[in-house]
Amino acid sequence: MRLITAHRILILAAIVFFAVYGLLQLRRYLDLNEMSALAQGIVSAVIVAGLILYYRTLKGWGERL
């Protein structure tokens, strides 16, 4: 396995992790009305957006010239 492939897998895992964590925190906010849970959910959504943008930049990496 090439290093770029492993990197892509780890970035995808991070996207899934932060998406699930963010959804759980938003659900907690709706159930308990905790502002800290809302803040963590919003920050998780921002991180997911950033990781998706970063993942899209990896498209051409690792290709032979």
Q: Along the 65 residues of the chain, how does pLDDT read in single tens digits?
A: 889 999 999 999 999 999 999 999 999 999 999 999 999 999 999 999 999 999 999 987 877 65
- Tokens at residue 33, please? 């009305």
The answer to whether residues 56 and 16 touch, using CB atoms and an 8 Å cutoff, is no
The answer to whether position 38 is within a domain reads yes
Entry pTM: 0.87
Using the Cα atoms of residue 39, residue 21, residue 52 and residue 4 in order, give the sign of their dihedral: positive
CA distances (Å), origin 48, targets 10, 12, 51, 60: 13, 10, 5, 21
Alpha-helical segments (H) within the chain: 3-32, 35-57
Q: Which domain holds residue 31?
A: 13-57
The answer to whether position 8 is within a domain reads no
Total count of domains within the chain: 1
